[in-house]
Amino acid sequence: MVRIGDKIALLREKHALTQEELSSKINISRASLSHYEKNRREPDYETVVKIADFFKVSIDYLLGRTEDPRVVLEPEVRAFVDSLELSDEKIIDRFSLTVDGTKLTFDEAKRFIAFVRAERSLR
Dist CA 23 CA 25 (whole Å): 5
Q: What is the mean pLDDT of residues 19-37?
A: 96
pLDDT at 81: 61
pLDDT band, very low/low/confident/very high, at 114 (cuts 50, 70, 90): confident
Q: What is the pLDDT of residues 49-88, one digit of tens each?
A: 999 999 989 888 888 877 777 765 566 766 666 666 666 6
Phi, psi for residue 59 in degrees, rounded to 5: -65, -35
- 77-96 pLDDT per residue, tens: 666 666 666 666 766 667 66
Q: Where does the pLDDT of residue 5 fall: very low under 50, low under 70, confident under 90, or very high at 90 and above?
A: very high
Using a pLDDT cut of 70, give the percent of the chain over it.
79
In order of 1, 31, 37, 51, 83, the CA distances from 41 in angstroms are 17, 11, 8, 15, 29
Residue 34 confidence (pLDDT) above 90? yes
User: How confident is residue 21, by pLDDT bands cut at 50, 70 and 90?
Assistant: very high
Q: What is the 8-class DSSP label of residue 85? A: -
Predicted local confidence at residue 86, as pLDDT? 64
**If DSSP codes are grouped into helix, strand and coil, which group holds residue 14?**
helix
**DSSP structure class, residue 40:** S
> Which class for 120: exposed (0-12), middle (13-18), buried (19 or more C-beta within 10 A)?
exposed
- Domain spans, the chain: 4-62, 84-121
Query: Tell me: domain 4-62, CATH 1.10.260.40, correct?
Result: yes
| pLDDT (0 to 100) of residue 69 | 79
pLDDT in the model for residue 54: 94
